[in-house]
Structure 1
């Protein structure tokens, strides 16, 4: 029977500074992710004026990063099951850092679109691997909260992007925001030395000499060795010739995998559609541009609290009930944004929308990570995220189309609310709770008799 070998070690191990350090570095990576994606929505109004872009073209440019994320998730995102979490994460950081920096030097929409695409490739490859690493290197009883805390830093990056859009753009122009986006490259040397490789991956490859010192820092009270863990773990007997992608559909699991993909896609459609077009949608509803950028900040502040609260709920009540609840609230709050509200109610709705869209994106990643065993974990997350990017790509493009057709503001927000209802139904239909890998999923990577 296959299971996460770290569970054997950390089941009764209290949280220590090593776990927190890993969460810190992974959280910084997610902060870079949030900044690099949300910054486009922050500079979009000025960019459209400077380059005289139509809403449709602006939506296509916004979708280019998300197309890149789909490509990155399918290629780099699932490659760490073969090449290692750390190596792929560092490569992805280099790709998206250089591409994001390049946006600040673009002279045409074509160049800008190309840089946004490669930014997406790096980010799309990084996120599944950061989630897989954090899942495997967290104490089992704290896994949901640690993964969602880490993922919630996407929203911190989004808040920073919204604030820099308000402060930096008027003073230095929109290009300066992308110079800030290149700062993650400075962190690359630190991550090379301080970010550990997954113990599960090292054991699966028989690299016990490398695994033992990490194991001692990870679980100081554990008296065994990585090789002793390997003797009782099917992970050490993984068959490298078996297709990891095929295993996602093996033994009757096709329905749950497809439903997970739908939940991912609908969630990402809401997240990226709102982060790209919320300032323009609110401006179309009669608010000033400055107020509209403030609304983007409120949305992402809500997402921070939503990410943290969703992790606590998932650890206490399970990932599936948490997803259903959050998707229902997302649909209701987004729908109500289409109508004029008092300032207090409007900000509460924005915080709820952020908490249950971007915040739900945190817990859906954690849910996916625990749905699959370690040997195919980054493959499972990578494919779910890649297919989900279809929804992410559709979000900005859909917003551009809606604005170009001059529909009522209520209708526009209703369209963005529908995916929340669809995702809630898909989550309800998934047969597993996602807190523990069940026997029939664990057996996917067990050696054949």
Structure 2
């Protein structure tokens, strides 16, 4: 009797209760990632006033969490390929949520900056691993859709942060917004119980646990007819070096550049859009609502991007989205009327912040499972250089008192660079995607 490999069964499994549960917990983590990172853009006007902070210093404060994410992605994220994704995710969430909670008690610029950095460290370890976990356990034909649905919750968290700031800061001060960042700690008992481990990891480390997990994914499966053999890897090289071997070097470098430009736009806009609009003559209340509109568009873009990516492919979808981002941002600079303004904000959110979901899915599909956490972690970490530059360059840009149109043109330039970078990930990407799913057919 020919026995089907467990990974093949996972890849061809119909969507079920297991997948929706996995999507729920990973999406919840992503929601608080969006909240914790974007809340700074909502509180920074109050902090600048209360602590007399100049724009450039405020920009570097905003970059502290992104430096932390870069550190966490490089140091913590890749450990999951050795100790398991589940342990790293749970530990990182405890660290990030505790740091966010304590941030409410920061008393000056240095204490605030350190706590933002520590929050970023935890998030940097968690996010690449929930992306890798979702890619490991999703049905092959729904992988992009499920991954981008999960990542779209970044934008929902960002939107919630702006609404919370509008409601809470006038009554309770900016400190209260960070108390909400500690709420994931209350969910830990349920996360510990229901969050699964990666199937490829269990096949290598614990075949009995792999059998139990397979039953959760496909309750009707006959374990006696399943092969739980560990997929044979073609290389004994360390995971990091494999990002540059087997024909991956060019794609890896340009993926890093694409990530960097995407994150530069994401964090630049989420940190400074309210202040840019205030500088352009809009009142602060309206400017915070613009941030909400931007992230409504981002949510729609992430969901629509996943749907398109599963039909057209991630690469054409990314190029289309970055092109629309350039057009919409340049249009915002001409200070259009209310209807066109909000339409352009929706499109800008969909094709900058929303694109972040698609590019994560694209990266996860370029590499085989045994190096996927390392690959996505390094894409995320190197991309954080762009993320760090977003708030910092935004602060510098505002300090120069540029015209509104020139501010938005500067915001659009990274989109042009990203188009070139993604276009340079050539047809090799299709072969790498087949490599990433090959264990399911072995």
Q: How many residues align?
A: 435
Contact 2:69/2:384 (8 A) holds in 1: yes
1:182 aligns with 2:177: no
Question: Shift of residue 279 of structure 1?
Answer: 0.1
Q: How does 1:45-444 map to 2 (within 5 A)?
A: 45-205=45-205, 207-224=206-223, 228-230=227-229, 233-234=231-232, 239=236, 242-432=237-427, 437-438=432-433
Q: Distance in 2 between matches of 1:433 and 1:321?
A: 14
TM-score by length of 1: 0.94
SS in 1 for 2:221: coil
Q: Distance in 2 between matches of 1:238 and 1:138?
A: 25
Q: Distance in 2 between matches of 1:176 and 1:212?
A: 45
Q: After TM superposition, what 4+ stretches of structure 1 lie above 2 angstroms from structure 2?
A: 10-13, 220-227, 432-444
The 3 A distance-change label for structure 1 pair 218 and 251 is same
Question: Shift of residue 238 of structure 1?
Answer: 7.6
TM-score by length of 2: 0.95
- Greater shift, 329-338 or 365-374, is seen at 329-338
Q: Distance in 2 between matches of 1:225 and 1:345?
A: 61
Q: Distance in 2 between matches of 1:348 and 1:399?
A: 23
SS in 1 for 2:228: helix
The 3 A distance-change label for structure 1 pair 97 and 432 is farther
- Greater shift, 269-278 or 404-413, is seen at 404-413
Q: Which residue of 2 aligns with 1:447?
A: none
Q: Distance in 2 between matches of 1:374 and 1:160?
A: 33
Q: Distance in 2 between matches of 1:165 and 1:199?
A: 40
Deviations 1:52-96 (A, max 9, x none): 110011000000000000000001111100110100001110111
Contact 1:259/1:427 (8 A) holds in 2: yes
Question: Shift of residue 184 of structure 1?
Answer: 1.1
The 3 A distance-change label for structure 1 pair 188 and 342 is same
Contact 1:6/1:137 (8 A) holds in 2: no
SS in 2 for 1:230: coil
SS in 1 for 2:107: coil
The 3 A distance-change label for structure 1 pair 439 and 199 is closer
Q: Distance in 2 between matches of 1:359 and 1:265?
A: 15
Deviations 1:260-317 (A, max 9, x none): 0010000000000000000000001100000000000000010000000000000001
Q: Distance in 2 between matches of 1:314 and 1:277?
A: 29
The 3 A distance-change label for structure 1 pair 432 and 130 is farther
Q: Distance in 1 between matches of 2:46 and 2:430?
A: 44
Question: Shift of residue 432 of structure 1?
Answer: 3.8
Question: Shift of residue 234 of structure 1?
Answer: 1.3
Q: Which residue of 2 aligns with 1:31?
A: 31
The 3 A distance-change label for structure 1 pair 441 and 17 is closer
Contact 1:302/1:352 (8 A) holds in 2: yes
Question: Shift of residue 223 of structure 1?
Answer: 2.4
Contact 1:319/1:435 (8 A) holds in 2: no
Deviations 1:352-398 (A, max 9, x none): 11101111000100000010000000000000000000000000000
Q: Distance in 1 between matches of 2:399 and 2:238?
A: 44
